[in-house]
A and B are shown apart, each in its own frame.
Chain A
Amino acid sequence: MAGTAHPEAMAPPQKGPTRTAPPQMPGTWWGAPRIRTYLLFGATGIVYFIAGTVFLHLVWQLGKGPEAWETALSSLSHPAYIAFNALTLVSVIFVGVRAFGGMMPKMQPRTGPIPVLPAGTVKALIYGVWSLMTLVICLILAGVLF
């Protein structure tokens, strides 16, 4: 019977199954400090979503004319608005620090024509752009520029 293999020989080994216990996730996985920051990071999604709609609302009012705009602007001083905006600020800074400090430097593509910069340089660049943009926007909105 010299020659080729048996037809059934290429089949993967017939491993016998045994009864297994289902995978275990430690009951308190979300309690671990590291996981907690990760979940908080995810939770900022809710804040961002609402922030987006708030700005939509403002732009909408702006489009409606001067009265609507002034009402909208003054309604912003409602404590609930201020509290939410404070939360947004905290979220934004948290997201920025986590993403710009940890993620972006890692995500540089390692192939292709774009050179890989040292992580420190990338971080500095991103933080620099972030601060500059914030500054310019603040100055414009506060009426200092333009």
Chain B
Amino acid sequence: MIQVSRHDIVIVGGGGAGLRAAIAAAEAHPDASIALVSKVYPMRSHTVSAEGGAAAVARDDDSEELHGFDTVKGSDFLGDQDVIEYFVEQAPRELALLENWGCPWSRNDDGTVSTRAFGGMTTKRTWYATDKVGFHMLHALFQHSMRFENIVRYDEFFVTELLTENGECKGVAALEIRTGEFHAILGRAVILATGGAGKIFPFTTNGTIKTGDGMALAYRAGVALKDMEFVQYHPTGLPGTGILITEAARGEGGYLRNADGDRFLVDYDYGVGNKAELGPRDMVSRAIIQEFEAGRGIDSKVGLHAALDLTHLGEAHINEKLPFVRELAKTYIGVDPVYEHIPIRPVVHYMMGGVDTDVNSATSMPGLYAAGEVACASLNGANRLGSNSLTECLVAGAVAGQNAMDFARGSSEGNVERLRGQAECESARVDALRGSAKGSEQISGLRQEMNSTMEEGCGVYRDHPSMAVAAEKAREIRQRASDLHLTDKSKVFNTEIIGAMELVNMVELAEVLAVSAAARKESRGAHTCRDFPKRDDTNFLYHTMAYQTEDGPRLDKKDVKLGHWEPQERKY
């Protein structure tokens, strides 16, 4: 018998976005009941690993106009401008709120919050707490959320399906990892805040929980995935592990060097002009790959890489502003950045695409909202600027919490018995899968195949023949994923079946990603095609919308919301 519990709204995900949404809802409606469901304890969410900072206008020489323009330009004009305008306006308030809640932001001598430079930003507008910003933000949010009695946490519950009735979202079916039992967690609105899907790729800054579950949940429920072809490669990941060395390292004055020791972003024309190391991520990543291709990559036992040089900053500065970078470099690559160059190479970092939402964080399905990396409100367009996404989690999370609550208050609860029935079907499906030992595909083997397919087809540089191959291969992998070989029959904390369901989610997204990419015959932001090197506003200034069908994604288009800022050539 499965457990049914009823709440006003259900939030899936306890990262930055999910916690912010929960607090927003709980604060505005002390009498409401908010379920916060997460597959890991909230403080383990991957927001914890963000290092560099969160952007919001703070200085007198800055303005919302400038922040907006930087974001639009960074997005290669694919960002929706209504969303961007709303975002830059709300950003300072959101970060100030977090300050009031105890986040230990780094400070200027006069007691105000300190800001640092970041890639693609005109001026210093990135708030930071040394170089563990995501960690401090997440813990501040989580700890603050504990004061609300009406936030009911479901820790270590894995959501496997959205429960719907008459096309409205009415709750989720979730597997309690500890017991292996299913729960129907009902609410009159649901917010997805499940984060990104970097684990589709082999070499990524993302943790192992970033498997795009929320995107797959929405996709299967009939909601479109938007702009999935845009995958951000961060220029500076550690070779081998993919652990991120934050952009703040460059924001604080670090240099990128090639095998000859040259600062290639300055010495060669890569379009980043006088921004040099502070160019946007897509451009800097491309520059590194071009250096490799020109034979100026550094070859060592960790593979081809470039170098991040912080030695001129001095030990005191590094300890004060970048202590975590130093710790990571020492622990994971054996290099002390005070004395040596850190080996780095571009690494998959962030999904610009995601569940299609608007400025209200609402999806096309009534009662379903999405916020954070899982969503694509089109703030980030074709390329996200570093430090915009942590702020986005807060802005979009707060909006989602508010709107979901308002929606819930104005709608009625679904038929409990019918929803329980849905969850029971789901429970039966998962029970049949657990330890079934029937299939022939190994989870780890298939995962590696998916990883290498995506790396080959959808890297920093892409071309259409290989994207077509990847799309074909991804479809085949998706089909094979229904034939997994599972051996663990135990119900208690069975991580094998979680891994299997995550893999199924990822292969679905991998196909959408490859198919969407293959259809965009231009170069825009992070989607760079060798065979179509120019941006093509006449034919491709639209959002890719992917809908699930029996035989793979069906693509559609959605207009970009222009307005205040006209598309122009993107040069720095």
By a beta-carbon cutoff of 8 Å, the part of chain A in contact with chain B is: 1-6, 8-18
Residues of B contacting A1 in the complex (Cβ-Cβ under 8 angstroms) = 412-413
Residues of A contacting B380 in the complex (Cβ-Cβ under 8 angstroms) = none
Q: How far is the CA of A5 from the CA of B409 in the complex (A)?
A: 9
Judging by beta carbons under 8 Å apart, are A13 and B153 in contact? yes
Counting CB contacts under 8 A, is B417 at the interface?
no
Residues of B contacting A4 in the complex (Cβ-Cβ under 8 angstroms) = 31-32
Residue of B whose beta carbon sits closest to that of A3? B409
Q: Which of B396-439 contact A (CB under 8 A)?
A: 409-413
Judging by beta carbons under 8 Å apart, are A6 and B412 in contact? no
Judging by beta carbons under 8 Å apart, are A5 and B31 in contact? yes
Q: How far is the CA of A14 from the CA of B153 in the complex (A)?
A: 11
Judging by beta carbons under 8 Å apart, are B409 and A2 in contact? yes
By a beta-carbon cutoff of 8 Å, the part of chain B in contact with chain A is: 3, 5-8, 31-33, 35, 149-150, 152-154, 157, 176, 178-179, 181, 183, 409-413, 492-493
Judging by beta carbons under 8 Å apart, are A13 and B154 in contact? yes
Residue of B whose beta carbon sits closest to that of A13? B154
Q: How far is the CA of A15 from the CA of B31 in the complex (A)?
A: 23
How many whole Å from B434's CB to the nearest CB in chain A?
A: 15
Known: A1-B413, A10-B149. A18 touches B179 (CB 8 A): yes
How many whole Å from B220's CB to the nearest CB in chain A?
A: 25
The one of A5, A13, A17 in contact with B8, judged by C-beta atoms closer than 8 angstroms, is A5
Task: Offer 10 A-B interface pairs, CB within 8 angstroms, sorted by A.
Answer: A3-B409, A5-B6, A5-B8, A10-B152, A12-B152, A14-B3, A16-B3, A17-B179, A18-B492, A18-B493
Q: How far is the CA of A12 from the CA of B5 in the complex (A)?
A: 10
The one of A3, A10, A15 in contact with B178, judged by C-beta atoms closer than 8 angstroms, is A15
Q: How far is the CA of A83 from the CA of B544 in the complex (A)?
A: 87
Residues of B contacting A2 in the complex (Cβ-Cβ under 8 angstroms) = 409-412
Closest CB pairs A-B (n = 6): A9-B33, A16-B179, A5-B33, A6-B6, A1-B412, A13-B154
Judging by beta carbons under 8 Å apart, are A8 and B6 in contact? yes
Known: A15-B179, A16-B181. A9 touches B149 (CB 8 A): no
Residues of A contacting B176 in the complex (Cβ-Cβ under 8 angstroms) = 15-16
Residues of B contacting A14 in the complex (Cβ-Cβ under 8 angstroms) = 3, 5
Q: How far is the CA of A28 from the CA of B37 in the complex (A)?
A: 40
Residues of B contacting A3 in the complex (Cβ-Cβ under 8 angstroms) = 409
Q: How far is the CA of A4 from the CA of B33 in the complex (A)?
A: 9
Residues of B contacting A17 in the complex (Cβ-Cβ under 8 angstroms) = 179
Judging by beta carbons under 8 Å apart, are A10 and B409 in contact? no
Residues of A contacting B5 in the complex (Cβ-Cβ under 8 angstroms) = 8-9, 11, 13-14
Residue of A whose beta carbon sits closest to that of B6? A6
Residue of A whose beta carbon sits closest to that of B35? A13
Residues of A contacting B3 in the complex (Cβ-Cβ under 8 angstroms) = 14, 16
Q: How far is the CA of A17 from the CA of B180 in the complex (A)?
A: 11
Known: A5-B7, A6-B33. A13 touches B413 (CB 8 A): no
Judging by beta carbons under 8 Å apart, are B150 and A10 in contact? yes
Count chain B CB atoms within 10 A of each CB in A2, A3, A9, A16 and give the residue with the most: A9
Residues of B contacting A11 in the complex (Cβ-Cβ under 8 angstroms) = 5, 152
Residues of A contacting B149 in the complex (Cβ-Cβ under 8 angstroms) = 10
How many whole Å from B382's CB to the nearest CB in chain A?
A: 40
Residues of A contacting B412 in the complex (Cβ-Cβ under 8 angstroms) = 1-2
Q: How far is the CA of A40 from the CA of B5 in the complex (A)?
A: 53
Q: How far is the CA of A10 from the CA of B35 in the complex (A)?
A: 9
Known: A16-B181, A18-B492. A9 touches B6 (CB 8 A): yes
How many whole Å from A94's CB to the nearest CB in chain B?
A: 34
Q: How far is the CA of A3 from the CA of B153 in the complex (A)?
A: 22
Residues of B contacting A12 in the complex (Cβ-Cβ under 8 angstroms) = 152-153
Q: How far is the CA of A3 from the CA of B33 in the complex (A)?
A: 11
Judging by beta carbons under 8 Å apart, are B152 and A9 in contact? yes
- Extra A-B contacts (11), CB below 8 Å, given A9-B7, A9-B33, A15-B179: A2-B409, A4-B32, A5-B31, A5-B33, A9-B6, A11-B5, A12-B153, A13-B183, A14-B3, A16-B178, A18-B179
How many whole Å from A30's CB to the nearest CB in chain B?
A: 31
Residues of A contacting B413 in the complex (Cβ-Cβ under 8 angstroms) = 1
Residues of B contacting A5 in the complex (Cβ-Cβ under 8 angstroms) = 6-8, 31-33, 150
Q: How far is the CA of A14 from the CA of B35 in the complex (A)?
A: 12
Q: How far is the CA of A95 from the CA of B33 in the complex (A)?
A: 54
Judging by beta carbons under 8 Å apart, are A13 and B181 in contact? no
Q: How far is the CA of A6 from the CA of B413 in the complex (A)?
A: 10
How many whole Å from B223's CB to the nearest CB in chain A?
A: 24
Residues of B contacting A8 in the complex (Cβ-Cβ under 8 angstroms) = 5-6
How many whole Å from A84's CB to the nearest CB in chain B?
A: 49
Judging by beta carbons under 8 Å apart, are A10 and B33 in contact? yes
Q: How far is the CA of A12 from the CA of B7 in the complex (A)?
A: 11
How many whole Å from A132's CB to the nearest CB in chain B?
A: 37
Q: How far is the CA of A12 from the CA of B157 in the complex (A)?
A: 14
Residue of B whose beta carbon sits closest to that of A19? B492
The one of B31, B32, B178 in contact with A18, judged by C-beta atoms closer than 8 angstroms, is B178
Q: How far is the CA of A8 from the CA of B416 in the complex (A)?
A: 14
Q: How far is the CA of A18 from the CA of B413 in the complex (A)?
A: 32
Q: How far is the CA of A49 from the CA of B537 in the complex (A)?
A: 86
Q: How far is the CA of A15 from the CA of B181 in the complex (A)?
A: 9
Q: How far is the CA of A14 from the CA of B185 in the complex (A)?
A: 11
How many whole Å from B408's CB to the nearest CB in chain A?
A: 8
Residues of A contacting B411 in the complex (Cβ-Cβ under 8 angstroms) = 2
Residues of B contacting A18 in the complex (Cβ-Cβ under 8 angstroms) = 178-179, 492-493
How many whole Å from A106's CB to the nearest CB in chain B?
A: 21
Q: How far is the CA of A64 from the CA of B31 in the complex (A)?
A: 76
Q: How far is the CA of A15 from the CA of B149 in the complex (A)?
A: 17
How many whole Å from A33's CB to the nearest CB in chain B?
A: 24
Q: How far is the CA of A64 from the CA of B257 in the complex (A)?
A: 86
Residues of B contacting A9 in the complex (Cβ-Cβ under 8 angstroms) = 5-8, 33, 152
How many whole Å from B114's CB to the nearest CB in chain A?
A: 22
Residue of B whose beta carbon sits closest to that of A14? B3
Residues of A contacting B154 in the complex (Cβ-Cβ under 8 angstroms) = 13
Residue of A whose beta carbon sits closest to that of B414? A1
How many whole Å from B85's CB to the nearest CB in chain A?
A: 32
Residues of A contacting B6 in the complex (Cβ-Cβ under 8 angstroms) = 5-6, 8-9
Residues of B contacting A16 in the complex (Cβ-Cβ under 8 angstroms) = 3, 176, 178-179, 181
